[in-house]
């Protein structure tokens, strides 16, 4: 085994706090990392949720399928109405304005 002589071990010094360092602005946890998007219905506040912060399943209003736990997805709500907050698959949210209205048919009804 080779021994390094004359080399001192690396020392980690704590960063100086409060000495003209850059301070991050205080963020509201409800709107942090949120963006604003304009759609046909109005203005939405949109937040991307990572899989690690998703701890329960949600139903996507775009495709009416479950979003399993630990799956990255999008949370969106109308800018003036927090009660309209919904969890969407990322692909469903992207195609939201291009989706046709969902028509319910009986099992034997023609598709045209």
> 6-33 pLDDT, tens per residue?
666 676 766 655 554 444 444 444 445 7
Residues 6+ apart with CB under 8 A from 87: 49, 58, 59, 60, 67, 73, 74, 75
Q: What's the mean pLDDT when you consider all of the chain?
A: 77
* pLDDT attached to residue 26: 44
CA distance 79 to 84: 9
Cβ(78)–Cβ(42) under 8 Å? yes
Q: CA-based angle 14:15:17, to the nearest 5?
A: 120
**Strand, coil or helix: 44:** strand
Local structure of residue 34 (DSSP, 8 states): E
pLDDT greater than 90 at residue 40: no
* pLDDT attached to residue 44: 92
Q: What is the mean pLDDT of residues 39-45?
A: 88
- pTM of the entire structure? 0.59
Nearest to 48 by CA among 80, 84, 72: 72
């Amino acid at each position: 085994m080779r021994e390094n002589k004359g080399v001192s071990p690396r020392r980690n010094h704590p960063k100086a706090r409060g000495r003209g360092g850059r301070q991050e602005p205080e963020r509201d946890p409800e709107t942090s990392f949120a963006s604003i998007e304009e759609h046909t219905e109005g203005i939405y506040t949109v937040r991307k949720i990572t899989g690690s912060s998703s701890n329960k399943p949600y139903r996507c209003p775009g495709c009416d399928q479950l979003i399993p736990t630990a799956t990255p997805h999008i949370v969106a709500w109308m800018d003036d109405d927090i009660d309209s907050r919904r969890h969407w698959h990322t692909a469903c949210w992207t195609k939201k304005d291009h989706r046709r209205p969902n028509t319910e048919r009986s099992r034997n009804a023609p598709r045209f």
